[in-house]
Structure 1
Amino acid sequence: MNAETHLQLHATRSAELRHQADTFRPAPRAPRKDLRTRLGWTMVELGLRLIPNRPTLSARSPRTA
């Protein structure tokens, strides 16, 4: 088969497949950014609660030698 003919057949088939994919593609859903954001901040808050509360260096009393 000639290379030009093969290329043209490939382009035609590719266009057909793209059209079929567009036909069966589901409708776009609403973004779940709000859910992801709330879940992420909830996990951060939980992680901070799991860390033991230790005084920072500036809050500690100075060492006496």
Structure 2
Amino acid sequence: MRMNERKYYVKVGNMYFQRFDELDAIFIVDDQPGAKIGASKLDKSKAEDIAKVLGVETELVEE
């Protein structure tokens, strides 16, 4: 992985995708400082694939 590779969150309203657990998608609710720490930071291709399956959008990780 390149150091300058951009990462993305998969976002649904005020929730961020964390992982799939068998048949369920697990999300982190962004309702307090630091909530996004547990959210998955994905490369653009993987984030877009998940967003397409869930019918949602991606958001660039600002670091």
| Structure with greater helix percent | 1
TM-score range, shorter chain: under 0.3
Q: Which has the higher contact order (CA 8 A, sep 6+)?
A: 2
| Structure with greater strand percent | 2
* TM-score, length basis structure 2: 0.23
Rg (Cα) greater in structure: 1
* TM-score, length basis structure 1: 0.22
